[in-house]
Structures are given as C-alpha cells and as structure tokens.
Structure 1
Amino acid sequence: MMVLPTHNSFHHCCQILLALLLFSLQILLTHIEAYSSKVEVLPGFEWPLPFQLETGYVGLGETDDDMQVFYYFVKSENNPKKDPLMLWLTGGPGCSSFSGLVHEIGPFEFEIKEYDGSLPSLVSRPQSWTKLCSIIFVDLPLGTGFSYAKNLTANRSDWKLVHHTHQFLRKWLIDHTEFLSNEFYIGADSYSGIPVPVIVQEISNGNEEGIKPSINLQGYLLGNPVTTRTEKNFQIPYAHGMGLISDELYESLQKNCKGEYIDVDSKNDYCLRDLQSFDESLSRVYVYNILDRFCEDDSLLRRRSLIQELKKSSSSRLTVPELSCETYSFYLTTKWANDERVHKALHIREGTIGKWERCYKNDFEYEIFDSFEFHANLSKKGYRSLIYSGDHDMVVPFMSTQAWIRALNYSIVDDWRPWFVNGQVGGYTRTYSNRMTFATVKGSGHMAPEYTPEQCFAMFTKWISNLPL
C-alpha cells in the first residue's frame, strides 16, 4: 500500500531532516568522553557474575554536565563478536530501562521474598535474552533512572527522546567499535511504541545521509505497543469478548458512544453513564494482566485516559504492596537501587541524582501522536519487525495492535497459526510481506516477558535467528 504524504508526515520529515543536520554538526563540533566500567560484583547476587556487565555514561551536551545518559550493557553470553546487538527502551514514558533488565529480559531478577531491611536478593534468570544477544539498557528520557541533566524539564519530550537515543547510540558505538559490524535492533514495549519507530527511521535516515559511524540496522521489536493512541477504543470490545462486561452494557456503549470512548462529548449523558458503569465493572480487575491478582495499591490505576493509566502505573509505589502482588518486585527494585553499595558497584557518580525512582510521572511533553506512518515507511525500507501482544493485557489490547497492522494492507505470507513451546501453544502468529511478524503470547500481560518468560524467550530466539515462530 502506498502511504500518501500528509501535513503531519511532511512536518515530521522536516523535523527529522533538521535533527540530522544538527546531529551531524554536534558530532563534528563536540565529542564528550564516554565513561564506562566493568561491574565486577553485583550487591545482592551471591555468586561471581556468569555474564559480562558494563555500566557507563554518554554525554550528549556541549559540556559534561549538560546531559549525561546512563546505561547498562550486558554482552551476549553466546558469541558477542557475532551475535546481534540490541538497544532496549522501557516505556512509561520515563521508566528506567533497569525495568527491562531486571523485570523482563535481563540475566538476573529479584528473589521475591518479604523485605526485612537488608538488601534485596538477586537470582539468575534462565530465560535471559542475553543468551543470544548483547543488550544496551539505556536510561532515557533524561532524568530517568541514573541519567541526569542541568535542565531536565527541557529534555523530556517525544522528539527529544528520539534525537537523544539516536545520538546516544552513535556515540556509544564510537567507544565500542568492536560492535559496529554486528546486526543491530531496537527493542521496547508499552509507551515506547510511539518513539521507537521514529528512532529507527532517524537512524536509517542518518545512515543514508552518511553520518558516522554507520549502524548495521536490521529491524525492531515491540511488545504491547502504544501506536495510534486510540487503544482505549478497543478496551471495551476486548472486555466484552473476555466476559468482563455484559452483552447489554456492551450494546448500550456501542449505541450511545458509537465506538468513540476517548473524545466523548461532555453533553452525551448516556455515553458517560455507560462509561461509568464500565469503569465500575472493571474497578477490581488488574488491567495490565486481567488474570493477575488485583491489589489495593493498584486501584488508582483506573483512568479513562490511556496515557494517564500508563503514567500512573509506572510511578514508584509509596506504599508497600502485598508480597503476592505483581508490583512487589517494583518495591524491591527501589530499595535495591537506592542502596549506597549498589551505587558504588554500578559506578554511579555521587550527587548526580536524588532518590532513584523506577519511573518519573510528570512534565513529559507528548509531541508524536501516532507512529503508524513510521511503521509504513520502515516496511518500505525492508526492515524486519516483530510486534507481540500479551493477550490478557487490557491497556493495549491485541485487538488494537491487529487493527493498525491490518491497516498497513500488506499481503499475508504465513497465515494465522499457533506457535509452540515444548509442544504447547505459546500463542498465535501471522507474518506479512513487509517482513513484519505479529504474535500473541498466550496468557500473558502488558509486559509479556515479565509474565511468561519461557514463551517470550522461545519467541525471541526464533525471531532473532531469522526462523519462523
């Protein structure tokens, strides 16, 4: 399908071209030294590290204090010289990619046990994606995790995130030239479904413009990604299909709201009444994984705005969740990351941040309202993509993801079928002629690798190895 240029796409293209010019100028005029150190001991992990972990900072401003981006880098446990290199961004917006490292796809995770005041314990994760891929977990936007800057508010926006990630990557590769020839991918989930396709396009454009170093860009993968910001409109049919609301309420919602549940006319009393009934029906359901246990501290997650939901869900908890709550691991994360022994082991610069928070939840400027056209552009350029959906996530339901993929209007080369893990159905998949693979992950939630690590590891292993699921 040919995507015709629109006013928005022209505006986006102009912004990208301007950014590339500024980027080239900045690379020529400044090169702030990057700082990296090998992590020899990880507090809370009892054994010698069975993987290679490096942490460091990459400076993006004109002086060292302007903007310093912190990262964790885990080398592939297989063959780092030949295995792919991936950069991982957590969603939020504004969540540290330490979340991806410790809660989703990295080589260690927290042992879930009652916090007693001592340092939380870490254990190995057998299904780490670093078994076959080197991964950079980067703390962006600025102010996220251990990254810091003189003026944080001025650097928290969609477009700044895009440009900073691109700039970070090229500077990181200047200091890690041994990875220049490795196949490169970007991975992300949740809100990062908005900026990541734009980042991939900016990297691609930079390569075409001759910006050095050249990046061996091959594709990207996204889990339960926000894409069109209309995901809320699919939450209600999803809830009906999963038996969470009655036929009568669903029919009334369709009739009174006419399929629009985001921009509702304030005078449409019937629609507003039905939406209130819908919220009441779901008030004790954990919408990030409807199969999971509902916890009181998650009751504040109930919001009509998708962005409000994502922002609230990602904020650091002030109260202590119950041990059986999914969010208890986030509580342990905050305790661990604020320990002085951890700061010393990770080579954190003293006095650069206050209290470490897993996510910040305000002053982010939303500028990119739809990433659909970028998927279309990247498809035309031939990049591979994997889009996967935990099928029990109601925040970004698989139905919303299927809808925008269907709108790309590409022919199907491998039609809907189950994919398997150890003889069991891991989910369902379909592959398109634009080298895009869509997959559901059966029984999984919003951050799929967190809920179903074995299934997601099998899915990733096949896809990154260029094998059909």
Structure 2
Amino acid sequence: MASIMLAPKWVALHCLLLLVLSANVAFCGEPVKHLPGFDGELPFNFQTGYISVNNSEYFYYFIESQGDPATDPLFFWFTGGPGCSSLSGIVYEIGPIQFDIHNYNGGLPRLLYYPYTWTKTASFVYVDSPVGSGFSYSTSSNWSTSDTKSTEEASELVRKWLIEHPQYLNLRLFIGGDSYSGLIVPGITKKLIEDNDANVEPHLNVTGYLVGSPTTDQHINVNSRVILAHRLALVSDQLYQELKISCKQNFVDVDPSNTACLTALSKYEKNIEEIWTNCPLEPNCAFASPRPELPLSVRRSLADQSSDERQFLLSPPKVPSDLWCRAFNYALAYNWANDPGVQEALHVRKGKVKFWSRCNRTISYTKDVQSVIDVHMWLSQRPLEVLLEVGDHDLVVPIVATQTWLKILNLTVSYNWRPWYVDGQVAGYTKKFDEEAYGYRLTYATVKGGGHTAPEYYRRECYEMFQRWLHFYPL
C-alpha cells in the first residue's frame, strides 16, 4: 500500500501554520532517507523530530508501517530506564534495523535491515523520554523530572504529535513500553482517556496499550526476585526456607534489628552477585581496564553510565568465538549514535546533547510512583485491547511479580494457561482475560527463555506474538 506520509511541501506549510497558531508546538519531523552504516536507501519511511512540552524538547523517531499505513494502528513507544533512549528499542528489540555485530572490526558499526520488525504491521513513534534520555534535552537549567511529570508530559507529547500529523488521528492508537515504563504507560493511557472524557480536542482513538516486562509495583517487583532466583535453582532450598522464615516473606522492608533476615539476605546476594540478572542463562561479562587515549570528556561521560556498557567501551574486549556478551552489542550504539555524521542524518540539533547514552543514569529523576496496580484496575473498566508480555528468565522484573499483580486485578479468565507456538515449537505460555461488560481484553504471554526485555532475546518470536495479538488472532 502507498504511504500516507504527506508531501514535503504540504508538511512544511502545515508545520508553518501550526507554528503561527501556537508557539508551543515544535517543528514537524524531517524525513530520513539514508543512515551512515546502512547500504543504500532505507526500505521504510523514517522521520525524526522534536516535540516541545513545557521546557522539554523531546526527540522522536517515527517509522511508518510497512504494511497498510492508512489503516494499520499507531503506537507511541517509551523505553524504560528511566533514562534509556528509544533507539535501544529500535535496534535491539522491535524495530527494522540492527547492528552487524558478527562482522564488527571497529569504527562506525554497520547497520542491517531486520525483517521481523513490529513496524511491518503498525506505525511507531519511538520517544526519548523522560527529558535527558537519548537526544531529548531541556531548555531550562532545571532538568529535574519524575514519574508523575514524565507521565504528564508524555501524554501532552502524544496529543501534540497527532496535532502536527493529523493524517494519523483516525488510526487506532496504542501506548507501549517496557521495563521501567511499566509505571508510565498505563498512566499515559489513563490521562488520554480522561482527556477524551473531558472533550479535550482533538479526540484521540485510544484503543489499548502494551507493556513488556513491566515494573508495576516496586515492592512486589523486588520481593519477587528472591522467589524467582529459587525457582531458577540459583538459591538452595535450605537458604530459601531460611529467607522465608526469618524475613516472613518480606525481603524489601526489613527491620534493621532482624539480624537473621539480614544474614540470609546477605547469603542470597552472594549467591547471585556474579549472575547476569537480565538473563541468568547468559554470561556476565566485565572488562574494566581504562583506555587513556579516549578524550577526558568521553571518559567522564562513560564513567556515569551503567557498568556493563562502560566497561566494554573503555576496554573493547577480544571476545572468544565461543563467548558472546550482550554488553558488547550495547557498546556499538555509543559508537554509532555519537558519530557526527549519524547525528546529522538524524537531524539532531547540534550542541544540545554532548554525549549520547543508551541509558543515561545521571538524570535528576524522582521515583514518586511506587505502584500502578490501581491504574490497571481503572483501565480494566474501559474498552481496551492490552498485551502484557514477559520473559520467564528475567530477574530484573520477575515473572513472579507479574503473576502476583495480575491476581490482584481479579480479572475474568476467558482461556486458561496454555502454550503458544512459533514454527511448531513452544515459544511460551499464554492466558487471556475478558471483562465483557466493559469490552476490556488482556492477553498475557510469557516468552520461554526470555530475559529483560523479552524481544531483545527472542525477537522473531515476539514479533509473531505482537502481530497475532494486534490482528485478533489467538496466540
């Protein structure tokens, strides 16, 4: 089908009109035809730009559906962290490009087209949110943000983007995200529905939401890690019983005087300290030697980043053929996204972000939302399509936590636990819930062997799951 992206001249006039009518609406996006590292013209419609919300300039990547963009739904995607760039979601999880890691010999990484992309069947706006993530920046000296502020600004961002791109207003609208964005995505969805109820214009066709490996309740999440570690045989039966009894199954808010519990927790931490918690099945790699030839400014920036990526960048490893470490794949994103030619191709504003990070751990961020179970309950009384997907080997957001808060929702089961398949093999397990009185439908799916987050580990399987759910096919 033909693209519904507007002709460049019309877009320019449309954006100019918007700027005249409202000083708060930022410039429309600009098309990207070529990317450094990719051979030839991109085989999909790609656009980047900024959306202004208060003092924040949010950078986004828009990839139009490669199926039928006139009817396929529109997703706004928020990668977790908080502070991780949505580029991570594009190249490592659900987008149409990936790094050619197997043939990397240094310099600018090569990009390859990835065929099992979620953009085959939906249009995606990948947002660098909260401010300070990726190429997003603040025009104020105060960069402080929070769960609440991030949710509010993201909701306004969605509305402003659609005002700038009215040709997508009638499409089915979904909000999606993973990991820490599990605390943000439901809130955005709720705010957009509330605005519709209040007759805020334009009316948005909010159809549903998707959360992957979602942080949903901080207490349940942390508490569940001990339980899953035992299920995965990382903790002995004896130590697990000791933990359950001494801590009274509460491993979070421990009384400082409870020395038995603290001792047991210390043993537990010792048991898993050398485990790659994103996925215990993979190697936990560390390469910590500094490279003095790197500029001081770059070394300082790297020192603020998460240890797995920082260590690879400071001392690129000579990885044996029988040992592959996921952190090395992350490191390629730094080489690529910090290249001046790449930033020019992406239409990044010069001088606004000195050093791009896959996950910026230095943002001033207040975690003021501890649970969104009540938000999910509120949403369960609305006509929404929901996909909840998790990896069953994820120790960051354990499957145990997801199953715990799902039980609290007390939803009506329409079909019970059963396997789902890709190419005749079990890809995971699924369960569906229907609240027929409200038209609310939630599909819960696990990804067998998947870590944090599942699409990064089983990209093809997660695409099959996504497209079946989106087109109302049983998993």
Q: Deviations over 1:413-464 (max 9, x none)?
A: 1111111111111100111123111111001101111100111011001111
* 1:351 maps to 2:351: yes
SS of 1:130's equivalent in the other structure is helix
Structure 2 match to 1:14: none
Structure 1 match to 2:248: 258
Structure 2 match to 1:308: none
2:307 and 2:118 mapped to 1: Cα distance?
Answer: 25
* 1:124 maps to 2:113: yes
2:260 and 2:142 mapped to 1: Cα distance?
Answer: 40
* 1:404 maps to 2:400: no
Structure 1 match to 2:274: 284
SS of 1:436's equivalent in the other structure is strand
- The aligned runs of 1:149-228 (5 Å cut-off) are 149-151=138-140, 153-228=142-217
TM-score (norm. length: structure 2): 0.86
- The aligned runs of 1:9-28 (5 Å cut-off) are none
Label 1:161 to 1:152 Cα distance change in 2 as closer, same or farther (>3 A): farther
2:142 and 2:307 mapped to 1: Cα distance?
Answer: 21
The CA deviation at 1:117 is: 4.0
Kept after mapping to 2: 8 A contact 1:85/1:134:
yes
Label 1:291 to 1:76 Cα distance change in 2 as closer, same or farther (>3 A): same
Label 1:135 to 1:313 Cα distance change in 2 as closer, same or farther (>3 A): farther
Structure 2 match to 1:373: 374
SS of 2:445's equivalent in the other structure is strand
Identify which range, 313-322 or 242-251, moves more after superposition: 313-322
Label 1:168 to 1:315 Cα distance change in 2 as closer, same or farther (>3 A): farther
Label 1:28 to 1:437 Cα distance change in 2 as closer, same or farther (>3 A): farther
Amino acid at match of 2:384: Y
Percent of aligned pairs sharing the same letter: 40
Structure 1 match to 2:33: 40
Kept after mapping to 2: 8 A contact 1:103/1:109:
yes
The CA deviation at 1:112 is: 0.7
Gaps of 5+ in 2: 1-19, 289-304, 436-440
The CA deviation at 1:153 is: 4.4
The CA deviation at 1:293 is: 1.3
The CA deviation at 1:244 is: 1.1
Identify which range, 397-406 or 233-242, moves more after superposition: 233-242
Structure 2 match to 1:447: 453
Identify which range, 245-254 or 353-362, moves more after superposition: 353-362
2:344 and 2:328 mapped to 1: Cα distance?
Answer: 25
1:121 and 1:55 mapped to 2: Cα distance?
Answer: 20
Kept after mapping to 2: 8 A contact 1:286/1:294:
yes
Structure 2 match to 1:82: 71
Kept after mapping to 2: 8 A contact 1:112/1:329:
yes
1:29 and 1:174 mapped to 2: Cα distance?
Answer: 11
SS of 1:142's equivalent in the other structure is coil
SS of 1:352's equivalent in the other structure is coil
The CA deviation at 1:118 is: 2.0
Structure 1 match to 2:222: 232
Amino acid at match of 1:354: K
Give RMSD over aligned pairs: 1.9
Amino acid at match of 2:130: P
1:88 and 1:393 mapped to 2: Cα distance?
Answer: 21
Kept after mapping to 2: 8 A contact 1:232/1:261:
yes
The CA deviation at 1:116 is: 4.2
Kept after mapping to 2: 8 A contact 1:95/1:314:
no
The CA deviation at 1:382 is: 2.2
The CA deviation at 1:266 is: 1.5
1:237 and 1:163 mapped to 2: Cα distance?
Answer: 34
SS of 2:432's equivalent in the other structure is strand
SS of 2:326's equivalent in the other structure is coil
1:457 and 1:313 mapped to 2: Cα distance?
Answer: 30
The CA deviation at 1:47 is: 2.4
Kept after mapping to 2: 8 A contact 1:316/1:359:
no
1:115 and 1:156 mapped to 2: Cα distance?
Answer: 37
Structure 2 match to 1:307: none
Q: Which of residues 268, 274, 288 in structure 1 aligns to 2:264?
A: 274
Q: Which of residues 81, 87, 95 in structure 2 aligns to 1:98?
A: 87
Label 1:409 to 1:201 Cα distance change in 2 as closer, same or farther (>3 A): same
Kept after mapping to 2: 8 A contact 1:316/1:330:
no
Amino acid at match of 2:244: Q
SS of 1:380's equivalent in the other structure is coil
2:309 and 2:168 mapped to 1: Cα distance?
Answer: 34
Kept after mapping to 1: 8 A contact 2:74/2:173:
yes
1:218 and 1:313 mapped to 2: Cα distance?
Answer: 39
Structure 2 match to 1:18: none
Amino acid at match of 1:36: G
Kept after mapping to 1: 8 A contact 2:64/2:123:
yes
Structure 1 match to 2:471: 465
1:152 and 1:329 mapped to 2: Cα distance?
Answer: 33
1:327 and 1:90 mapped to 2: Cα distance?
Answer: 17
Amino acid at match of 1:54: Q
Label 1:380 to 1:314 Cα distance change in 2 as closer, same or farther (>3 A): farther
- The aligned runs of 1:45-64 (5 Å cut-off) are 45-61=38-54
1:376 and 1:430 mapped to 2: Cα distance?
Answer: 18
What is the aligned residue count? 427
Kept after mapping to 1: 8 A contact 2:308/2:327:
no
Gaps of 5+ in 1: 1-26, 299-310
The CA deviation at 1:152 is: 6.1
The CA deviation at 1:154 is: 4.2
Structure 2 match to 1:414: 415
2:269 and 2:168 mapped to 1: Cα distance?
Answer: 49
Amino acid at match of 2:394: D
Kept after mapping to 1: 8 A contact 2:179/2:213:
yes
Q: Which of residues 304, 308, 314 in structure 2 aligns to 1:319?
A: 314
The CA deviation at 1:114 is: 6.7
Structure 2 match to 1:244: 234
Label 1:316 to 1:34 Cα distance change in 2 as closer, same or farther (>3 A): farther
1:412 and 1:431 mapped to 2: Cα distance?
Answer: 6
Kept after mapping to 2: 8 A contact 1:89/1:192:
yes
